[in-house]
């Protein structure tokens, strides 16, 4: 009898352990759970990445424009499964236009940057095209990071990259210096600067080392005694990945196209990072460009429905031929790589994970998947005033008012290009007259489903598609559930008062890329009349067609 009880306890422990074991899912992209992956590796708005390997872990940065906190940080042990570990800058402090009382930084802010680790210190460089070149440092990747140091005030710069040459004991920085005024065509000049060994100062005026149409997004590597400077540029109506190769970092250089669109995807492929796995194999991450040229010579092209999720990140194997890297596969044998849809994982043995999405708001800190539209108004949000809830307090928008001028809109990236469902539970009992609050999609447009409180205190459901409002029923409940059903580049809203019976409201709408960002989902809250009223968000849950660790 005694032994039977022991075995019963053991069986119960095993059963509970199995029941509590994390569940994971696979999908149409990412880790497939069988030693292979399908591109994209990150099917969301993760553009302009750089990746640095330290101590067997890969760390990624990705640009965030005017959102705060800025410059998202992710980590991975296998170059495929990534999780967000924080941000470099909690606030965008170098220009007042990013503050909640200005809301004037759309399309600007943190563009493509460079992540580096040298002499036991982390460095992150970036250029704000309207302000200048900045760097922050940290002893640990998760911070705290120093306040940004302005290395040079200059407009129209983009995309810095740094390199410490240990043999010469000289540090360098290269960036796109904007259009060369002496050339009629749209040719960007890339300029190389000497940099102080502590990585904080430029030591000269820089020397032009290359000029190409739309050339930018440089990365510097030194492999087998030769320098390789990777860049993206426009050639033949396609944004291509190129490399310059030379024995000196100043040249002379040989130039070669390493990657082009080919027949795999409809958008251009370029701009990423070159990495090496522990088994000696080489890999390259790249993004899909947000658009494609409409006609020959049109470098910007139209914004198409293809890019509504933003600039996703793809991973391709790399082979070396005649001292040049071939990125992906070369199906037509022209020596130029194309991206791939399916490959073996670079490093096996690690579990499926994914960037955070769901949130029960039980933590004392805001989840790293969330970002504010411009710097937040810190006295107008809280995770402690009501435990287990994110409280958003309504303030009066600046300027002409409305969604784009309202502080403390909070959102995260949509995931994938297939079907997805995001739901949230929100307490609306604290809303006041003049207040509007609810669920939102936004990028270059905005679409809202929420509650508007009239002067007499009546709460009314509203659907707002870029300023065109549709009024719904009066709402007497204190709690409302919101849902968005995503199907490709289309979405529809629904609401419920019990989380089981759902009612669609508002027309189907199209998700779009805009202001250099893919579509985002989240919450808005403002008051047209006074700083009054609040909502309490209980939870947010997001299911999508892709890998998800739980």
Q: Do residues 286 and 314 make contact, with C-beta atoms less than 8 angstroms apart?
A: yes
Catalytic annotation present for 185: no
Q: Which of 48, 128, 359, 489 is catalytic?
A: 48
- Please tell me whether residue 2 adopts helix, strand or coil conformation: helix
Q: Which of 216, 309, 359, 519 is catalytic?
A: 216
Closest CA to 390 of 376, 404, 375: 376
Element housing 18 (H / E):
helix 2-20
Cα–Cα distance measured from residue 48 to residue 46, given in angstroms and rounded to the nearest whole number: 7
- Please tell me whether residue 133 adopts helix, strand or coil conformation: strand
321: its two tokens: 């031929």
User: In b/e form, how buried is each residue of 217-243, taking b as 16+ CB within 10 angstroms?
Assistant: bbbbbeeeeebbbbbbbbeebbbbbbb
Determine the straight-line distance between the first and last CA of the chain, rounded to whole angstroms: 39
Q: Do residues 23 and 16 make contact, with C-beta atoms less than 8 angstroms apart?
A: no
Cis check for the bond before 69: say yes or no (omega within 30 of 0).
yes
Catalytic annotation present for 153: no
- Count Cβ atoms below 10 Å from residue 449 Cβ, excluding itself: 25
Q: Do residues 23 and 71 make contact, with C-beta atoms less than 8 angstroms apart?
A: no
Percentage helix, strand, coil for the chain under 3-state DSSP, each rounded to 5: 5, 45, 45
- Count Cβ atoms below 10 Å from residue 475 Cβ, excluding itself: 18
Closest CA to 433 of 417, 413, 457: 457
Sign of the C-alpha dihedral, residues 525, 531, 535, 536? positive
| Contacting residues for 334 by C-beta, under 8 A, at least 6 apart | none
In which order are the strands placed within the sheet that holds 216-223? 216-223, 226-235, 238-246, 254-259
Active site residues: 48, 216
């Amino acid at each position: 009898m005694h032994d039977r009880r022991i075995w019963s306890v053991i069986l119960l422990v095993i059963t509970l352990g199995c029941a509590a074991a994390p569940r994971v899912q696979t999908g149409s992209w990412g880790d497939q759970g069988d030693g292979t992956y399908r591109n994209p590796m990150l099917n969301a708005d993760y553009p302009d990445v750089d990746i640095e390997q330290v101590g067997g872990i890969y760390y990624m940065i990705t640009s965030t424009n005017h959102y705060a906190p800025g410059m998202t940080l992710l980590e991975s042990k296998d170059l495929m499964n990534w999780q967000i570990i924080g941000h470099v800058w909690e606030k965008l402090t170098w220009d007042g236009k990013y503050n909640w009382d200005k809301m004037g930084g759309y399309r600007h802010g943190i563009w493509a940057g460079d992540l580096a680790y040298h002499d036991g210190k982390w460095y992150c460089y970036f250029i704000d095209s309207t302000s200048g070149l900045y760097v922050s440092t940290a002893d640990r990747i998760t911070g705290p990071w120093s306040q940004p140091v302005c290395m040079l005030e200059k407009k129209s710069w983009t995309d810095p990259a740094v390199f410490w040459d240990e043999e010469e004991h000289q540090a360098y920085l290269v960036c796109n210096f904007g259009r060369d005024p002496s050339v009629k065509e749209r040719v960007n000049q890339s300029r190389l600067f000497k940099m102080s060994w502590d990585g904080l100062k430029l030591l000269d005026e820089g020397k032009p080392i290359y000029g190409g149409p739309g050339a930018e997004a440089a990365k510097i590597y030194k492999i087998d005694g030769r320098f390789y400077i990777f860049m993206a540029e426009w050639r033949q109506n396609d944004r291509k990945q190129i490399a310059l190769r030379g024995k000196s970092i100043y040249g002379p250089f040989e130039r070669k196209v390493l990657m082009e669109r080919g027949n795999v995807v409809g958008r251009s492929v370029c701009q990423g990072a070159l990495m090496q796995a522990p088994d000696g194999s080489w890999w390259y991450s790249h993004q899909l460009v947000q658009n494609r040229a409409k006609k020959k010579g049109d470098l910007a092209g139209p914004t198409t429905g293809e890019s509504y999720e933003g600039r996703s990140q793809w991973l391709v194997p790399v082979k070396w031929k005649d001292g040049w890297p071939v990125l992906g596969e070369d199906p037509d044998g022209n020596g130029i790589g194309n991206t791939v849809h399916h490959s073996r994982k670079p490093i096996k043995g690690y579990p499926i994970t994914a960037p955070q999405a769901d949130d029960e708001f039980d933590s004392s800190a805001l989840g790293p998947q969330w970002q504010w539209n411009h710097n937040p108004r810190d006295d107008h949000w809280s995770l402690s005033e009501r435990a287990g809830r994110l409280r958003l307090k309504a303030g009066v928008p600046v300027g002409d008012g409305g969604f784009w001028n309202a502080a403390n809109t909070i959102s995260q990236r949509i995931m994938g290009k297939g079907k997805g469902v995001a739901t949230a539970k929100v307490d609306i009992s604290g809303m006041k007259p003049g207040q509007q609050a609810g669920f939102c999609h936004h990028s270059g447009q905005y679409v809202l489903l929420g509650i508007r409180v009239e002067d007499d205190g009546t709460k009314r459901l509203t659907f707002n598609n870029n300023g065109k409002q549709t009024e719904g029923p009066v709402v007497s409940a204190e709690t409302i559930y919101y849902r968005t059903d995503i199907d490709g580049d289309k979405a529809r809203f629904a609401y419920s008062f019990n989380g089981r019976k759902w009612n669609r409201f508002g027309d189907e709408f199209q998700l779009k890329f805009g202001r250099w960002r893919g579509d985002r989902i989240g919450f808005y809250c403002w008051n047209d009349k006074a700083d009054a009223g609040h909502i309490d968000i209980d939870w947010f849950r997001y299911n999508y067609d892709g890998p998800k660790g739980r």
